[in-house]
Amino acid sequence: MLKLGTGPGVLPLVLPPAGLGVLEDKLNLDLDLDITLASGFDIPDVQRARDFVNAMQLDDADLLADLDRRRVHVHE
Sequence ranges of the domains in the chain = 14-74
Which pLDDT tens digit goes with each residue over 30-59?
878 889 999 999 998 999 999 999 999 999
* Inter-residue contact 42 to 71 (CB < 8 Å): no
Q: Residue 3 above 80 pLDDT?
A: no
Confidence of residue 1 (pLDDT cuts 50, 70, 90): very low
* Inter-residue contact 67 to 13 (CB < 8 Å): no
Q: How far apart are CA 57 and CA 44, in angstroms?
A: 12
pTM recorded for the entire structure = 0.81
**Polymer length of the chain:** 76
Using the 8-state DSSP alphabet, how is residue 17 labeled? H
Confidence of residue 66 (pLDDT cuts 50, 70, 90): very high
Contacts of 34 (CB under 8 A, 6+ apart): 70
Question: What is the CB-side half-sphere exposure of residue 38 using CA atoms within 13 A?
Answer: 19
